[in-house]
Structure 1
Amino acid sequence: MASDYEKMAAGEWYCCLDAELDRLRIAARHAVHQHNTMAPDARGMMAPGLKALFRNVSDDVFIEAPFHCSYGINLSFGERVYLNAGCTILDSGRVHIGSSSMLGPGVQIYCAEHHKDPQLRRQGIEIARAVVIGEDVWIGGGAIILGGVTIGDGAIVGAGSVVTRNVAAGETVVGNPARPVKRD
């Protein structure tokens, strides 16, 4: 039988109250704490513990403090990615942020979807959905990206938007839920 970690990684329903997953979240909290409390000149682009936690990260990725992630092990970044202050990535699913993409302050990415059945939700049953952000994407401050979403290369997400569906390459979306901006 697959562990809850294996189920989470496979995109199947799993129990987030699992001891192994709790250990992984605790490790992430330590790395995030180091990053968020380290002096900026000592931290540089990001604290060493945070960099070591990520699945894949280039040396030129810059993450402002404060930052929060739930696992870190599911995050991968291309080159020259910038995350402004206050970004939160709840990475129960895989999250990839492509090269030269920028996330404004307070951007939030949520991969977990809790079960609709209240009994199962009480038991910690959830499913993780991946998020893919292409290259040269600009996500405005306070935007929320939900699990299962792909944002194409060169797209723009307006500040405060809630992205519930895929965004095509080169498209600009705004609002809640985010919708394409009509071009003249």
Structure 2
Amino acid sequence: MTSEKEKSFAGEWYDPNGDSDLIAEREKAMELCQDINLLHIKNPKRDKFLTELFPRKGDNVVILNPIWADYGLYSTIGDGTFINHNAFLMDGGTITIGKNCLIGPNCGMYTATHALDPIERRTGIETALPIVIEDDVWLGGDVTILPGVTIGKGSIIGAKSLVNKDIPANVIAVGNPCKVLREITDSDKILTT
């Protein structure tokens, strides 16, 4: 018999409140988020709590308060990534953030989607699709990323954008819905060697 948790990671419809493991993991994440958010950024306990919340967090990752995650366990954060204030990682499906990414304030990454029919929606069933943010991506403030989206390496997403489709590598994309504005080229370089 397939558990609700197994259905979740298979991209199937599942009941997040019908699995005791998922409920316990969400409750633990809620407690850790609260503990983290009450501590000063230099408090040594904060790092311990962050590692417990995000066991797949790389080296030299900076995460500012407040931080929110549904589970934390299902998010991977690459080395050297910076996550600004008030980020929310709804990681019912996996969220993968690459190395050296800049995540602006108030960014939300939402892996869950609910039934369209209102009667079915009342049951609480949902699906969760992975989000992938490749290396060296910069998300401006207030960016929202919807289920199943991949943002390609080196791309920039403008502030307040709603990303509902994949974005290729090395582009600037903006808007609601987010659309590619242009490629990033050598003429964008500030430093010359």
Q: Per the shorter chain, which TM-score range?
A: over 0.9
Q: Residue in 2 aligned with 1:126?
A: 126
1:158 partner letter: G
The residue that corresponds to 2:166 in the other structure is: 166
166-175 or 1-10, which moves further after superposition?
1-10
* Matching of residue 145 in structure 1 with residue 154 in structure 2: no
Q: Secondary structure of the residue that 2:56 maps to in structure 1?
A: coil
AA partner of residue 25 (structure 1): R
> Residue 32 of structure 1 corresponds to which residue in structure 2?
33
Distance in 1 between residues matched to 2:6 and 2:135, nearest whole Å: 29
Give the distance between the partners of 1:132 and 1:120, measured in 2 at CA.
Answer: 28
Q: Give the equivalent residue in structure 1 for 2:23.
A: 22
Alignment of 1:3-152 (within 5 A): 3-18=3-18, 19-43=20-44, 47-152=47-152
- Structure 1: any 5+ residue segments left out of the alignment? none
Contact 1:34 1:47 in 2 (8 A): no
* Deviation, structure 1 residue 20: 2.6
Provide the rounded CA distance (Å) in 2 between the counterparts of 1:160 and 1:167: 15
Q: Give the TM-score normalised by structure 1.
A: 0.94
Contact 1:137 1:155 in 2 (8 A): yes
Change over 3 Å in CA distance of 1:182–1:137 after alignment to 2: closer
Q: TM-score if structure 2 supplies the norm length?
A: 0.90
For residues 122-157 of structure 1, give each alpha carbon's deviation from its aligned partner in whole angstroms, at most 9, with x where no partner exists.
Answer: 111100000000100000000100010000000000
Structure 1 segments, 4+ long, off by >2 Å, are: none
- Over the matched positions of the two proteins, sequence identity in percent amounts to 36
Contact 2:173 2:182 in 1 (8 A): no
What is the aligned residue count? Answer: 183
Pairwise CA distance, 1:49: 2.0
